[in-house]
Amino acid sequence: MRGLLVMLLLMLSAPALAQSALPPAPYADRQIDDPALEKKARTLMETIRCLTCQSQSIADSNASMAGDLRSQIRERIMAGEQPEHIRAWLIERYGDWVSYEPTAEPILWPLWAAPLLFLGLGLLIVRGRIKRRRS
């Protein structure tokens, strides 16, 4: 428990240390000049998880790692890479966990089927409550 606390404190203080030691990555907080490309990058960033934070995308995180990833994504987009290709590269590097966008992997099928299942089940129950038209 104490070890965990120390680790947590270290993690919290890391950005502060980084602040004085290293300048942020070039495109961490600098937009691409072309608004269309920036929009593409931004859309992708919103679906990439910040690995050192808790439940935040890299698009809204102060962590230095999120800044590095933002910079990388912007640079790759400027180099003409497609967002889905960058996502695949990130997933290969950090695992499925890094992407908030649920993939089409079999383990996620129930997640996509859930809405249809719930709606279908609900409608079935509701139908029983409603009077049939007298013909």
Partner 1 sequence: MIAEAGLAALWLAASLALLQLALVAIGLAGGKSDLLGAVRPVAVAQGCLTAIAFALLITLFLRSDMSVLLVVTNSHSMKPWLYKFAGTWGNHEGSMLLWVTVMGVAGAAVALFERALRRETHMATLGGQAAISLGFYVFLLFASNPFARIDPAPADGQGLNPLLQDPGLAFHPPTLYLGYVGLSVAFSFAVGALLTRQVDAAFARAMRPWVLGAWILLTLGITAGSYWAYYELGWGGWWFWDPVENASLMPWLAATALLHSVTVLATRDALRAWTVMLAVIAFSMSMVGTFLVRSGILTSVHAFAVDPERGTFILVLLGIYIGGALALFGWRVGAVREGAPFELVSRETMLVVNNLLLSVILGLVLIGTLYPLLTEAFGHKVSVGAPYFDRIAGPIALALMVVMILGPLTRWRRDRMREVGRRMAIPLVAGAVVLITLAMFAWGRIGILPFLGLVIALAVAVGSLAPLWKRNLRRTPLFTWGMVIAHLGCAVSLAGMACDSAFTVERLVAARPGDMVETAGWTLRFKQIIPIAGDNWTALQADVEVSRGGSEPVLMHPQSRFFASPPTPTTEAALLTRWNGQLYVVLGQEADEGRWQLRIWWKPFVTLIWLGGFLIALGGALALVGRERRGWLLKWRARKATEALA
User: How far, in Å, are 31, 74, 116 from residue 28 at the CA level?
Assistant: 8, 8, 40
Residue of the chain from 2, 6, 21, 23 that contacts partner 1 (CB under 8 A): 23
Whether 98 and 49 have beta carbons less than 8 Å apart is answered as yes
User: Contacts with partner 1: how many residues (CB under 8 A)?
Assistant: 52
Q: Say whether residue 71 binds partner 1 (CB under 8 A).
A: no
Among all chains, which residue has been given the structure tokens 């993690």? 11
Residue of the chain from 9, 82, 88, 109 that contacts partner 1 (CB under 8 A): 9
DSSP per-residue codes, 20-63: HHSPPPTTSS---SSHHHHHHHHHHHTTBB-SSSSS-BGGG---
Q: Say whether residue 93 binds partner 1 (CB under 8 A).
A: no
CB of 55 to partner 1, least distance (A): 4
Q: Say whether residue 34 binds partner 1 (CB under 8 A).
A: no
The whole-angstrom separation of Cα 69 and Cα 129 is 53
Q: Say whether residue 131 binds partner 1 (CB under 8 A).
A: yes
Whether 24 and 37 have beta carbons less than 8 Å apart is answered as no
Residue of the chain from 34, 84, 96, 109 that contacts partner 1 (CB under 8 A): 96
Residues lying near partner 1 in the complex (CB under 8 A) are found at 1, 4, 9, 12-13, 15-16, 19, 23-24, 29-31, 42, 46-47, 49, 53-57, 59-62, 95-103, 107-108, 110-111, 114-115, 118-119, 122-123, 125-126, 128-131, 133
